[in-house]
Amino acid sequence: MTQKKAADPAATNEYVTLTDHSTGENYDFPLMPGTVGPKVIDVRSLYGRSGHFTFDPGYTSTGSCESKITYIDGEVGVLMHRGYKIEDLAEHSDFMEVCYLLLNGELPNAREKAEFEDTITHHTMVHEQINYFFRGFRRDAHPMAVMVATVGALSAFYHDSLDINDPRQRMITSHRLVAKMPTLAAMAYKYSVGQPFVYPRNDLNYAENFLHMMYSVPAEQYKVNPVLARAMDRIFILHADHEQNASTSTVRLAGSTGANPFASVAAGISSLWGPAHGGANEAVLKMLEEIGSVDNIRSFIKQVKDTNDDVRLMGFGHRVYKNYDPRAKVLQKNCHEVLDALGIKHEPLLEIAVELEKIALDDEYFIKRKLFPNVDFYSGIILKAMNIPTSMFTVLFAVARTVGWIAQWKEMIEDPSQKLGRPRQLYTGPTERPYIPLHKRR
């Protein structure tokens, strides 16, 4: 039996062996260790040596890249950014600090933090011409449609930071994207309600500024509620990054072609929009409203469990978490705090959500499939209490996730082993056949 070893084994002497029983050949593949988490099998030489590809639709067993940014242990429900637990960041940090951490690898010292905040603050305005760009949209357009278009259009306005091979331009684009997303998001909202756009204010922090641009009107003074600003900041922290999820993978794939980062992030926004991903927060609220009352929960759960019905319990289940999503835990606690702080004594949707969670966590269907609440289950209730329109929920997710997208994009561009992302397939279509002229076709 022949042994075919990889030419360049990775930094471990451990291998797994694949045996091709049709030829009797063995192929050894190195195991690559991470700093934490399971080792991965390096199959990069598989096709070259064996003539076979792997088949993994949905990438359930595929690691697409090496990354130092975010770690998830889905079995126990752990999420860490650069080694810091999400619970600690949500409790003790703020969004600007988390942005710095994701982009630069370390928490900033006081001077670095002040400089970073100053830089982001001074990039919040968008080119004035973008105001006119907005006017081409229907007022009833979904704000995510507006975001896909306007973020992609930033590449038409900021030509001076499009050279992806220049580290300084990469950093400027990263800052521009983080800074301008809340401005564009608030503009999308203002446009939908027919109010004038509100310019950013440099004396406000990131979350305060966003609320100011969303809710202030020229006719009167708007005072940002600090409870709302802190809640918003925490929501931004909790959504900042989540390793190789669908939208981040989309950003990396688009960026791997050399596409500019504004275009790559616009691709990420499109991917986030779907209800299986970021669109779930909007879907959760609609679901709770449709359930309408605690009395209807059992019949709703019955519908979810019916395999002939494609209704899902939105805000439940996750590809990676087979335990409670740690972000959902923070949000669940936050939800009560925010409602208390806002003096909301009775929120029927929260009552439905709490009861729904209790019933689902006790139900064999959900237990067997390891389905737990995810980040979207409680975020919608907080956002609703903060008076954020439902159609803006996923936009807020996009605002927060932009730093994760751009940090991952930057990491990829700076990785010397980075290659064009180009998966293969198992072809099951027709084999070669002769072309039939139109007049001979039935």
Please list the active-site residues. Answer: 318, 376
Scan residues 227-266 and list those touching ligand CMC (CB under 6 A). 245
Burial 282-294 (b: 16+ CB within 10 A, else e): bbbbebbeebeee
Contact between 367 and ligand CMC by CB under 6 A: the answer reads: no
Q: Is-contact 412 399, C-beta < 8 A? A: no
Closest contact distance (angstroms) between CB of 276 and ligand CMC is: 4
DSSP string, 255-283: HTTT--HHHHHHHHHHHHTSTTTTTHHHH
- Kindly tell me which of 177 and 238 has the beta carbon lying closer to ligand CMC: 238
Tokens of 396: 């807020």
> Diameter of the chain by CA atoms?
83
Residue 210 is classified by DSSP as: H
Which of 221-230's residues contact partners 24+ apart within 8 Å by CB, and which partners?
A: 227/338, 227/341, 227/342, 228/338, 228/342, 228/386, 229/205
Of all residues in the shown chain, the one whose CB is closest to ligand CMC is: 317
- Supply the angle between the helices 393-413 and 246-255 in degrees, to the nearest 10: 40
Of these, 170, 277, 329, 410, which contacts ligand CMC (CB under 6 A)?
A: 277
Contacts with ligand CMC by CB under 6 A: the residue count is 19
Of these, 10, 101, 253, 280, which contacts ligand CMC (CB under 6 A)?
A: 280
Contact between 313 and ligand CMC by CB under 6 A: the answer reads: yes
How many angstroms separate the CA atoms of 391 and 236, rounded?
Answer: 17
Contact between 318 and ligand CMC by CB under 6 A: the answer reads: yes
Of these, 102, 269, 371, 386, which contacts ligand CMC (CB under 6 A)?
A: 371
- Kindly tell me which of 133 and 365 has the beta carbon lying closer to ligand CMC: 365
- Kindly tell me which of 72 and 130 has the beta carbon lying closer to ligand CMC: 72
Contact between 285 and ligand CMC by CB under 6 A: the answer reads: no
How many angstroms separate the CA atoms of 35 and 264, rounded?
Answer: 29
Closest contact distance (angstroms) between CB of 38 and ligand CMC is: 17
Stretch that binds ligand CMC, among 49-57, 82-90, 259-267, 273-281 (CB under 6 A): 273-281
Contact between 376 and ligand CMC by CB under 6 A: the answer reads: yes
Contact between 314 and ligand CMC by CB under 6 A: the answer reads: yes
- Alpha helices (runs of H) in 306-441, residue ranges in sequence order: 326-341, 348-361, 364-368, 376-385, 393-413
Stretch that binds ligand CMC, among 82-90, 137-145, 276-284, 409-417 (CB under 6 A): 276-284
Q: Which residues contact 316 (CB under 8 A, 6 or more apart)?
A: 360, 366, 371, 372, 373, 374, 377
Closest contact distance (angstroms) between CB of 273 and ligand CMC is: 10
Contact between 375 and ligand CMC by CB under 6 A: the answer reads: yes
Count CB neighbours of 382 within 10 A: 25
The position carrying tokens 């020229």 is 218
Burial 410-431 (b: 16+ CB within 10 A, else e): bbbbeeeeeeebeeeeeeeeee
- Kindly tell me which of 217 and 276 has the beta carbon lying closer to ligand CMC: 276
Q: Is-contact 143 273, C-beta < 8 A? A: no
Residue 32's DSSP bridge partners are 40
Closest contact distance (angstroms) between CB of 316 and ligand CMC is: 4
Beta strands 70-73; 78-81: pairing state: antiparallel
Stretch that binds ligand CMC, among 2-10, 27-35, 187-195, 307-315 (CB under 6 A): 307-315
Contact between 198 and ligand CMC by CB under 6 A: the answer reads: no
Backbone torsions φ then ψ of 3, nearest 5 degrees? -110, 120
State the binding string over 320-359 for ligand CMC (x if CB under 6 A, else -). ----------------------------------------
Contact between 300 and ligand CMC by CB under 6 A: the answer reads: no
Contact between 319 and ligand CMC by CB under 6 A: the answer reads: yes
Contact between 388 and ligand CMC by CB under 6 A: the answer reads: no
Closest contact distance (angstroms) between CB of 109 and ligand CMC is: 33
Residues that bind ligand CMC (CB under 6 A): 245, 276-278, 280, 304, 312-319, 369, 371, 374-376
